Structure 1
Amino acid sequence: MRYRVRRASRRGPRGPRDHDYLGARAGHRQRRPDVIYPPENRRLALEVAEGGAVVSQFAPGTPPLAGYFPVRNRVIAGLSLGVVVVEAAEKSGSLITAGLAGELGREVMAVPGPLTSLMSRGAHRLIQDGAALVQGWEDVVGQLPLRFRDQVKPVAVPANAGSPDRLGHGQGQADHREAGNDESLLLLRVIGQEPVGIDQIIERSGLAPGRASAFLMTLEIEGRIRQLEGKRFVAA
């Protein structure tokens, strides 16, 4: 799922060619821009280059060594208004990026995950250390400087919209509770007696990865679902 999240973040919230969102899109890589790594992101790199920039601080010919990934994280943090950690083990490279972002005065945010998952420990540690807890896009926008917050407006929701993750937000606590209840019910319909993986849950529910993880944790705490090995879930 980490690769899906990374690709989605680099595309931007409204597609690779749409510039009507916060800031400028820039894809950063740990080796020279003419060689794409991993190779399956070649098309994405070309899409980013059409309307933004693919940058690297390494000279042409530099091989993609593992030790270069932490080095490039400083540039990623510097190019960002803030960093949101969705999943991270205790020694994840994402925590390096989050630490650098804090040093550079950027906002640091984290999405909580299932309590029993090793991939949640890094994000939970960040929250314990003062990172903003993220349950939805509103929490991310709320951490941005005012001049950027003013540019973000909720998406208008059609009267017949049936997908819970497209419900309107920002209309008071009652609306948030109603949306949360609908999203929880949606996840419960997706999760049955047969184990289902996190990627399948996200795909079938249509929820954003961070929001799905947050509601899965809530359902697990409430005892309505159980998490199995391999980040799979079943109804309790």
Structure 2
Amino acid sequence: MHMDDIDELRAWLIALRTPGLGPGGLRERLDAANGDIARVLGRLQRHAAPLGEPAQAWLARPDEAQLDADLAWLAEPNHRLLRCTEADFPPQLEHIPQPPAVLFAVGDPSLLLYPQVAIVGARGASASGLAHARAFARALAQAGFAITSGLADGIDGAAHAAALDVGAATLAVIGTGPDRVYPRKHHALAQRIAAHGVLVSEFPPGTAARADHFPRRNRIIAGLALGTLVIEAGLRSGSLITARLAGEQGREVFALPGSIHNPLAHGCHRLIRDGARLVESAAEIIETLAPAARMLGGELAARLRGEVGIEATRQPPADGAADSSFAHSDGREDSRQDRVLSELGHEPATLDELVRRTGQSTAVLSSTLLMLELDARIESLPDNRYQRLPDAR
């Protein structure tokens, strides 16, 4: 790692660990400093008093051992600190309440740019609830959506595992540091997700599980996904928080109905009464979200080509247009799709092979492949492979 990169990462880590600052305070200061973290840190050190004595003490003498441990964690393969000033920071998070300033990622961070469906529900789910979670996750993953959840016991874990079992992408947003697994029983599942998907946290390494971390995690799950599906939830379930946040962010909320005698159906029934879409099949979700997925793919492709600046992604959506950040693709996207089809030929190819053939970045190519899949011109196969369909033009 270059010394300048280490100095910049160190500045970010000092700011992130400053007591009392939080993501909102850090983003506000970044906006004032045009995204320059060194300037932000300098101003923090000069004007630490309003943040209180713990912040003053930390900024005057940061814990070097802690910072060295953080940098050592980031230096490991497939570990990354994704910052809100970077072009591949997920734009769908820019308009959520208290958007995170950074995300610690283990695995493939480009998956954060995929159109996603969140699947959440009860930790103590029934056998039928778990079966529904697996079935919906498989179908949605095979339709080209990444499956996002919170690595919790029950519905979350079943959805993650089902996506992995069909060779599809899954994202786990966790309420601990990226080096911790909660619950511990999901250690093996977390390793699978890190190898074939991505684990994401806004909390720095070493952060233990705390009750107040999970509602904060839920806003990121809801913000990343185009829609949230709730499968089994009691009336006091944390899944209802995720669903409420998704609705407030202008995203679709889907709920699976159940027996009136099942207490775990009561939360879903309340969501339906409050306006969530009642769904009985994955096809209903796919039909509803496909247009938004196409628009998101086009916006991401433009952003990664440098046509959309960082500041542009921070502009609030127009009144009454909750998903105005999902811009339509242009004619150049059509030519890019034609190029991918041509390079794909008539034999299956992996994503890595297509990156080499087309010269496109993984993130841009992934968005193009998703739009081709939604248009039924290609299909995804296990192990991150893609096949051109016979009638694709």
TM range (shorter): 0.5 to 0.7
Q: Quick one: distance in 2 between partners of 1:14 and 1:68?
A: 26
Matched, 1:130 2:265: no
Tell me, in whole angstroms, the C-alpha distance in 1 between the residues paired with 2:289 and 2:220: 19
Structure 2 residue 253 is the aligned partner of structure 1 residue 103: no
Alignment of 1:77-116 (within 5 A): 77-116=222-261
Give the AA of the match of 1:114: S
Distance between the aligned counterparts of 1:121 and 1:94, measured in 2?
Answer: 12
Q: Is the 8 A contact 2:163 2:170 kept in 1?
A: no
Cα displacement string for residues 108-161 of structure 1 (whole angstroms, at most 9, x for unaligned residues): 0000111122221110011111111111211221221323796287xxxxxxxx
Corresponding position of 1:9: 159
2-side partners of 1:4 and 1:71: how far apart?
20
Distance 2:274 2:288 in 1: 16
SS in 2 for 1:143: helix
Mapping 1:168-187, distance limit 5 Å: none
Q: Would you tell me which structure has more helix in proportion to its own residues?
A: 2
Distance in 1, matches of 2:374 and 2:228, equals 19
| 8 Å contact kept, 1:111–1:133 | yes
Residue in 1 that maps onto 2:264: 119
1:64 deviation in Å? 0.6
Q: How does 1:10-159 map to 2 (within 5 A)?
A: 10-13=160-163, 15=165, 18-19=167-168, 24-146=169-291, 147=294, 151=374
Structure 2 unaligned residues grouped into runs of 5+:
1-123, 126-152, 295-369, 377-393
Pair 1:47–1:151, CA change in 2 (3 A):
same
Listed as ranges, the gaps of 5+ residues in structure 1 are 154-236
The 2-side partners of 1:12 and 1:75 are apart by 21
1:113 is paired with a residue of what secondary structure? Answer: coil
Structure 1 position 14, deviation (Å): 5.7
Cα distance change, pair 152–114 in 1 and its aligned pair in 2 (3 A)? farther
Q: Percent identity of the aligned residues?
A: 41
- More divergent stretch after superposition (84-93 vs 137-146): 137-146
Residues 77 and 60 from structure 1, CA distance in 2 versus in 1: closer, same or farther, beyond 3 angstroms?
same
Distance in structure 1 (CA, Å) of the matches to 2:154 and 2:183? 13
Q: In structure 2, how many angstroms separate the alpha carbons of the residues matched to 1:115 and 1:86? A: 14
In structure 2, what is the Cα distance between the partners aligned to 1:49 and 1:55? Answer: 9
Aligned-partner residue type, residue 102 of structure 1: G
The 10-residue stretch of structure 1 (73-82 or 143-152) with the greater mean CA deviation from structure 2: 143-152
The one-letter code sitting in structure 2 at the alignment partner of 1:145 is: A
Given the two structures, how large is their TM-score scaled by the length of structure 1? 0.57
Give the conservation status (yes or no) of the 8 Å contact 1:101–1:107: yes
**What CA distance in whole angstroms lies between the structure 2 residues aligned with 1:40 and 1:14?**
17
1:28, CA displacement in angstroms? 1.1
Structure 1 residue matching 2:165: 3-state secondary structure: coil
**3-state SS of the aligned residue for 1:7?**
helix
Kindly report which structure 2 residues correspond to 1:195-214, keeping only aligned pairs within 5 A, or say none.
none
| Distance of aligned partners of 1:89 and 1:132 in 2 relative to their CA distance in 1, 3 Å threshold | same
- Specify whether residues 13 and 51 from structure 1 end up closer, same or farther in structure 2 by C-alpha distance, changes over 3 A only: closer
Distance 1:83 1:69 in 2: 16
Instruction: In structure 1, give the amino acid aligned to 2:244.
Output: G
Note the C-alpha offset of 1:11. 3.2
SS of 2:289's equivalent in the other structure is coil
Q: What is the CA deviation profile of residues 189-223 of structure 1, one whole-angstrom value per residue up to 9, with x for unaligned ones?
A: xxxxxxxxxxxxxxxxxxxxxxxxxxxxxxxxxxx
Aligned residues: 148
Runs of 4+ displaced beyond 6 Å: none
Contact 1:70 1:93 (8 Å CA) reproduced: yes
CA distance in 2, matches of 1:8, 1:41: 11
Given residue 117 of structure 1, which amino acid in structure 2 is its aligned partner? N
Larger Rg: 2
Q: Which amino acid in the other structure matches residue 275 of structure 2?
A: G
Q: Distance in 2 between matches of 1:46 and 1:14?
A: 11
CA distance in 2, matches of 1:13, 1:132: 23
CA contact (8 A) 1:74 1:100 kept: yes
Change (3 A) 1:135 1:152: farther
Please, what is the CA RMSD of the aligned residues? 2.2
TM norm structure 2? 0.35
Q: SS where residue 83 of structure 1 aligns? A: strand
